[in-house]
Amino acid sequence: MTERGILLFSVDGRRHAVDAGDVRRIAMGSEDEPGWIRSSILGSPPRPRRGLVAALEGEERALAVDEVEGIEIVPAADVSPLPRLARETIGTRGIAGIVVREDELLFLVDLPQLIRESSKELSSHAEDE
């Protein structure tokens, strides 16, 4: 049976998953760290204690999260792409799929894409101000 390694984390009290291979490292720090994305479609962690670091265009960027629970190996069959209607109509490409865990559905986050989108959002807000 094919398996996948996913890293479980939480933002704003809600659990999410990311392909472990998308995370370069887990940073410890505070919200004042440069290069940290503190707000995304997943929410804004009130007291971010960890950052999920991804490499983007040769630079390291981190998504601030509340908690990192650890890596779990799940059967590949438990990971589904988003239904096509959802994929084509939601206003983000930062959710790559759904992980079924017992009775819970977790968003499988596309970390580089989510960071990219959130950075653009931040830049456009900064320009507006």
Partner 1 sequence: MRSQSLQREAPAPWEALGSLDHVSLFALRLLGERFAVEASLVQEVIRTGPVTRLPAAPAFLLGVFNHRGEILAVMDPAQLLAEESTSVAHGSRAAIVQSGEWKLALVAEALEGLLSVPPSALESPPTSGPGPSEFLKYVAHTKEGPLAVLDLARMIEVARARSLPG
User: From edge to edge, which strands make up the β-sheet containing 50-56?
Assistant: 25-28, 50-56, 59-65, 36-37
Reported as type and span, the H/E element at residue 111 is helix 111-128
Q: CA 20, 21, 26, 31: dihedral to nearest 10 degrees? A: -90
Binding part of the chain for partner 1, among 31-39, 47-55, 63-71, 74-82 by CB under 8 A, reads 74-82
Kindly state whether residue 103 participates in binding partner 1, applying the rule CB under 8 A: yes
Residues in region 29-68 near partner 1 by CB under 8 A: 41-42
CB contact at 8 A, 60 and 35: yes
**Candidate list 63, 68, 98, 115; residue touching partner 1; CB under 8 A:** 98
Cβ 87 to partner 1, closest distance in Å?
9
Cβ 91 to partner 1, closest distance in Å?
4
Q: Is 13 left (phi over 0), alpha (psi -120 to 50) or beta?
A: left
Cβ 107 to partner 1, closest distance in Å?
8
Kindly state whether residue 105 participates in binding partner 1, applying the rule CB under 8 A: yes
Binding-site ranges for partner 1 (CB under 8 A): 41-42, 77, 80, 82-86, 88-92, 95, 98, 100, 103, 105, 107
